Structure 1
């Protein structure tokens, strides 16, 4: 029975991990680039596996060309989640593979340096995208997926750097000592990629704690408070805050404001990020339902716009200082005391 080369497994693990970040992303451009990138990454894993695992030499000229398309596709996929549109994205998809294809056909010695430059350049561009600051970095992603999307972008950038360095080292080793150990080296490279993805999946998503109550007067202006007021109206219009896939971009469009302005104004006027600001409104409604309704905590969680119990419980405790069950028990006890009245 034929074995399954590690590139197959590494490709599958990475594709499934990144696919999780698509949840809550409804931007047509982003989904198109994401699906194209995931399909190409899986195909590239298949090509590498067949080439080095089964010795299919006919794929040798194809492999560097398809590899050159992956970095720009990854960059465009995550770039589409930002609040800013990119002019002429087709240039990113056309120039790198054309340059590598020309090198494969005419100047073979340029293939490896070109791939090194392409992977490093787009890795740097993607990493800079994730460190530009502000909630608007991943404005098109659902608020509860923004941090996951940001971490996935950093993972992708890190893998670009890893493959750039390892491919360059592999090319140098092959020139000096031949290709006998290349399959083993490729396997070790993919083990490293799998390890990076596993660490990404297991590592907790740290988020800075911020106060739950009270507007911040530091740096806030009347214009900021006016923007926050418009955002509050937009949130309450037809209970828009209950939308599970609500994103900063959708909220900004509903309020008729630029996403960057909404993010900055909410932060300055309330001391919260946009996700916390929206979750405060959701938790306020959840508290009302827990006090006045008989629905289960899970049902209330979904009704106010949360999709995971862990996120709901974390945000509920951030705002109220207790769990939903504790809040309901305290509210019922208080209500019973009021109805019973003072002792005669």
Structure 2
């Protein structure tokens, strides 16, 4: 066993992050629950692998099967949809693990990594569809939530591979490598999932006042005209917490229909369409004399990283250089007019 108690360290870090998130948000968010499950598993791994506490090796595979469904539910609840009663079906994973432990313990060697792999690939597949498939994610974040969930999904798949590596090491007579595999792969991936899940880009909108969507029977072109009018008159893009779900409620159009129409009319997803409007507002503010920070905040961005990323995507340069180029062009035009 490695002299450094990596599982103990990882468990303490994850528990601290869980408590910090719980206290700062004032409630058990889906991400906090995922952190708690990861902290629980690393703590049990510490007791089973480092301190050799009797019985913990039997508990270890049971608690492990809580992590994949917890990650999937956190993904769904923060990015895709609200909680549903059908989510209780994901408890079948730990229930199956308990049944296997009693009746066919060897089945756990297949079932546990399979659960990690299945849920990991599911997150990868859905998050690969981009921001339009995540209506509860903040549009200002663009593709970042999708990329973060990509990493979490990949971490689950790698965890499945680590379980397979452990079984292969034992079967081939290299059982002494098991603690190292657990410390470097299993614990490392749990720590990665816990830390990266704290990203502010994964925080969902508050749905305490969420209203059911009204089904629209209007023609797509009429809906697109309504979208354009609403964007021009109400400027919802100035709200940094705007989501596809919130925009669809305001318009009374289902989120999937809204994203499809915007994509058809603009060739872009909803996030890019909204951020295009934000950058246009920022450009006007810069020309009117606002500072870069003031233009960023007034146009619906709340972080410089998001603002600079989208500004670069649209203009090919940063705000300061863009403004200098615009002012230089205006000066050249003014000089030509005076000469004439």
User: What is the TM-score of this pair, normalised by structure 2?
Assistant: 0.76
1:46 to 43, 46, 52: 43
Answering whether residue 160 of structure 2 is matched by residue 164 of structure 1, we say: yes
User: 1:201-239: per-residue Cα shift (whole Å, max 9, x none)?
Assistant: 9xxxxxxxxxxxxxxxxxxxx944433332233334543
Unaligned runs of 5+ in 1: 202-221
What is the RMSD of the two structures over their aligned residues, measured on CA atoms? 3.8
Shift of 1:343: 5.7
Alpha-carbon distance change, 237 to 68 in structure 1, aligned in 2, over 3 angstroms: farther
Give the Cα separation in 2 of the matches to 1:191 and 1:43: 12
| Residue in structure 2 matched with residue 268 of structure 1 by the alignment | 264
Alpha-carbon distance change, 308 to 12 in structure 1, aligned in 2, over 3 angstroms: farther
Give the Cα separation in 2 of the matches to 1:185 and 1:58: 21
Answering whether residue 94 of structure 2 is matched by residue 97 of structure 1, we say: yes
**Correspondence list, 1:22-171, <5 A:** 32-80=29-77, 81-82=79-80, 88-92=86-90, 94-131=91-128, 133=129, 135-171=131-167
Shift of 1:304: 0.8
| Residue in structure 1 matched with residue 297 of structure 2 by the alignment | 302
Answering whether residue 308 of structure 2 is matched by residue 313 of structure 1, we say: yes
1:226 to 222, 228, 238: 222
Unaligned runs of 5+ in 2: 198-217
Of the structure 1 ranges 82-91 and 251-260, higher mean CA displacement relative to structure 2 is found in 82-91
The count of aligned residue pairs is 310
User: 1:29-71: per-residue Cα shift (whole Å, max 9, x none)?
Assistant: xx73322111111221122123212322342222111111111
| Residue in structure 2 matched with residue 328 of structure 1 by the alignment | 323
User: 1:272-303: per-residue Cα shift (whole Å, max 9, x none)?
Assistant: 2212211121122112211223x321121011
Determine helix, strand or coil for the equivalent of 2:86. coil
Alpha-carbon distance change, 47 to 329 in structure 1, aligned in 2, over 3 angstroms: same
Answering whether residue 278 of structure 2 is matched by residue 292 of structure 1, we say: no
Give the Cα separation in 2 of the matches to 1:327 and 1:244: 23
Answering whether residue 9 of structure 2 is matched by residue 5 of structure 1, we say: no
Of the structure 1 ranges 322-331 and 133-142, higher mean CA displacement relative to structure 2 is found in 322-331
| Residue in structure 2 matched with residue 209 of structure 1 by the alignment | none
Shift of 1:100: 1.1
Contact 1:83 1:139 in 2 (8 A): yes
